Amino acid sequence: MTHIFLLIPYFVLSLSDNENLNSYFERIKSPKIDIPALMKLSEKDTVTLLRSCTDLEGKRSYLSISATQVNADKEKVWKVLLEPEKLQSAIPSLKKVKVLRKLSEDIYEIEFEIEFNIISVIRPTVRYIAVSRIEDGKITSFVKEGENKGSWRIWQVYESEKDKTLLILVTCEYVRNIPVASKIFSSNPYIELGVVSSSSLIPVISLKKFIEENHKESSER
């Protein structure tokens, strides 16, 4: 399937640059996920699991895994993940997505701006540059520039049953780098856990709603 990223021209990297990028991706240690068990857990509602992780800067962070069943086929779900405009439309906290350059056949440099809802009156917007690698049913990204440098995330899609898709987002994010957040989290760790869990939960729920609403509209035409 042709997607929006294929329209970006190549930025030719040296062999050493490519090896350096691959070394970053190799350091991303995603937990082994029991896909059949997660499918069963998410049959009735979206689920989020928390555990610890280490980001690429060596900081101990929280790992958040969110999964949901989307009432649409895998191709439709995958297509939204590959189109920056649709992704931005689907996720309210995602204020900007811009593909800056294509680094190799399946690796891209992308600019993001994300609003973090820490508490109702404190919603800082974080800008960062990420490097993303696109594989079959999987997008792995790490932050190379920005307040949360070293954070990483993985999108995964699996066919669940006919016209149904398991959508998973895994994030490893050191949120204490977010402006003004550190003091709030130190005084109330529960707020930090809420921000961490929402970093995977909100995108997954938002995408599910966006895809299902658009799928319903297209079916009714």
Report the side by side order of strands in the sheet with 60-70: 47-54, 60-70, 164-173, 152-161, 138-146, 125-135, 107-115, 94-102
Bridge-partner residues for 173, per DSSP?
62
* Entry pTM: 0.85
d(CA 210, CA 91) in angstroms, rounded, equals 8
pLDDT in the model for residue 158: 96
pLDDT in the model for residue 119: 60
d(CA 190, CA 70) in angstroms, rounded, equals 29
Q: Cα separations (Å) of 140 from 29, 137, 158, 205, 206? A: 11, 10, 15, 19, 19
- The structure tokens listed for 83 are 């189109």
Q: Go through the domains of the chain in sequence order and give each one's CATH number.
A: 4-220 (3.30.530.20)
pLDDT averaged per 10 residues in sequence order, the chain, 221 residues: 46 51 86 91 93 91 94 94 90 90 90 75 79 93 90 95 92 76 72 84 95 73 52
